[in-house]
Chains A and B, each alone.
Chain A
Amino acid sequence: MSLPNDLTLLTAAEAREALDNREISSAELTQAYFDRIRDVEPKIHAYLHLMQDVAMTQAAEADRRIEQGDIQAMTGIPIGLKDILCTTDAPTTAASKMLDGYVSPYDATVVSRLRDQGAVFIGKTNTDEFAMGSSTENSAFGPTNNPWDTNRVPGGSSGGSAAAIAAREASITLGSDTGGSIRQPAGFSGIVGLKPTYGRVSRYGLLPFASSLDQIGPFTRTVEDAALMLGAIAGKDPMDSTSVPTPVPDYTAAFPEDLKGVRIGVAPEYSVEGMEPGVDAAVKDAVAKLQELGAEIVEVSLPHTKYALATYYITAPAEASANLARYDGVRYGNRIEGEDLMDMYVKTRGAGFGPEVKRRIMLGTYALSSGYYDAYYVKAQKVRTLIKQDFDRAFESCDAIVAPTSPTVAFEKGSRLDDPYQMYLADVFTIPANMAGIPGISIPCGFSDGMPVGLQLLGKAFDEATILGIAHVYEQSAGWYKQLPEL
């Protein structure tokens, strides 16, 4: 392999090969990312905390391991972590004033698995506060800018993790996806984002938002890198009883050569009013390309798709209102003293949470409150059943479903802040997969208005291998991933 002058141009798989062949060291690779961060981070603000000292120590240790032949997929690879994943050697704030300065006494399971593999941690990436948002503008510590156009949002909530990959400020980053928070920012930022099946990756040490929907997954430049990272973090964890013991396959070994014999579903419900024509066109071209590559395109129906957004905005806030009750100023996090205990709770939570978090706690508390529980919360759970049944039926006639990741490309910063429902619409195509618990991946499929368009592939539960395989074949043939933003 001929090495680029700038090592941040290497994909993680290419870096792996170069590290294993001793063409580069992890220390050199890690330094290249910190050099890049020095140059571009002032324009992007992808990170809340950089971990340079930790990273250089980890890189030196990784180089020793590689020297001894003790090599795993992530040994020596520089990684960014969404600042909602607990780390013992850097703050974990969830981009909230509530947790400003908080350092977790334990590592998230994904973090400890990566440490065991000898990975290098570049830093903690920006997010909407407690992962609630679609633009990363809800961070208490300032927004992240889209590397393709710094006046636009990178999507959210994992916008820092997405922008860090698009701007080449990490080799791989991790994010979390509750209603689209990996796939939507990946689409907006022109990169790959994978939400695994609910239960595929341990959520232990992921600050919880909506526990029946949350799932951790990678942002990468290529599908191969996403497959490598999923292999490194997936699997049963005794600390998360909702993690599933289904064996973790070798995802890259299962990549097909073409798409012959693969049935891909297209659902008319994923073409909605108000959709950007350039997005629609790019997705149609991608579907034609999938067919050209050998796939059989079949029409499927997901009739309850239009109800997913409303279902989500009951279910997720209801779970969030319970989960965020823990931030009470007593055991950890920040406290504002009051006249008595009640006054302390009210002041602490009033000052600690930003507007969107308050909105969701209010919505969820209302939906769960006496007199409204059946009308809202139980109703939403019943519609969730219908949404899941839609997918069960659709997957009887196809192996994967293709759809746009989002109805538009990345929007201008500030343009949706005054109308929460407009902001929520950015996730209209990603939410159904969370409701059904199925895996989804967003990959680049072209441009509209000069901004990247995301193509979403949805798969059967625990069949990440199929959507990764389709995504890889499309990506290598279409080549969009080779286009990088100028910074």
Chain B
Amino acid sequence: MSLSREDVVHVASLARLGMTDDEIDMMQDQLSSILGHIEELNELDTEAIPPTAQVLEMKNVLREDEVRDSLPQETVMRLTPAAHDGFIAVSEVLGGGEEGPTA
């Protein structure tokens, strides 16, 4: 399995990961090599095997729908890199750069 440079750039964009050109080159080599090792899973016929997402036998763990205290707003707002009038501030979402938020 080998990844193209375009593949790497596309995946980096999906993951919102900024990378330098050197990092992209290195990532292309390393991911291709790792995926090459992962190809060995294709030796196994898993057609009739059900997937396992997690190993516990529990499912649908429910609890009472009770109102409980949450963390105080000011405690949580102290963590944000930028606040404005009690809101978390970010730069504009719509009409920003060329790619836009749905790219």
- Tell me if B34 and A421 are in contact (CB < 8 A): yes
- Tell me if A341 and B92 are in contact (CB < 8 A): yes
Distance (Å) between the CB of B70 and the closest chain A CB? 10
Q: How far is the CA of A244 from the CA of B55 in the complex (A)?
A: 12
A351 CB-CB contact with B under 8 Å: yes
- Tell me if B56 and A244 are in contact (CB < 8 A): yes
8 Å CB contacts to A: which residues of B60-103? 61, 63, 71, 75-76, 78-82, 88, 90-93, 96-97, 99-101, 103
For residue B82, which residues in chain A have a CB less than 8 angstroms away from its CB?
Answer: 335
For residue A437, which residues in chain B have a CB less than 8 angstroms away from its CB?
Answer: 54-56
Distance (Å) between the CB of A89 and the closest chain B CB? 14
Q: Give the size category of A's interface with B.
A: 35 or more
- Tell me if A242 and B56 are in contact (CB < 8 A): yes
For residue A244, which residues in chain B have a CB less than 8 angstroms away from its CB?
Answer: 56, 58
8 Å CB contacts to B: which residues of A382-437? 382-386, 388, 420-421, 424, 436-437
Distance (Å) between the CB of A415 and the closest chain B CB? 17
B6 CB-CB contact with A under 8 Å: no
- Tell me if A345 and B81 are in contact (CB < 8 A): no
- Tell me if A345 and B16 are in contact (CB < 8 A): yes
**Interface-lining segment among A70-78, A276-284, A323-331:** A323-331
Chain B interface residue count, Cβ-Cβ cutoff 8 angstroms: 58
Choose from B79, B90, B97 the contact partner of A339 (Cβ within 8 Å).
Answer: B97
- Interface contacts (Cβ under 8 Å), in number, total 176
For residue B21, which residues in chain A have a CB less than 8 angstroms away from its CB?
Answer: none
- Tell me if B55 and A347 are in contact (CB < 8 A): no
A49 CB-CB contact with B under 8 Å: no
Choose from A314, A342, A384 the contact partner of B101 (Cβ within 8 Å).
Answer: A342
For residue A383, which residues in chain B have a CB less than 8 angstroms away from its CB?
Answer: 41, 44, 46, 49
- Tell me if A341 and B15 are in contact (CB < 8 A): no
For residue A355, which residues in chain B have a CB less than 8 angstroms away from its CB?
Answer: 23, 26
Distance (Å) between the CB of A437 and the closest chain B CB? 3
Distance (Å) between the CB of A196 and the closest chain B CB? 13
Distance (Å) between the CB of B50 and the closest chain A CB? 6
Distance (Å) between the CB of B45 and the closest chain A CB? 10
A359 CB-CB contact with B under 8 Å: yes
Distance (Å) between the CB of B27 and the closest chain A CB? 6
Distance (Å) between the CB of A395 and the closest chain B CB? 14
Give 9 CB contacts A-B under 8 Å: A332-B79, A339-B96, A350-B19, A355-B26, A358-B19, A362-B11, A366-B3, A381-B51, A437-B54
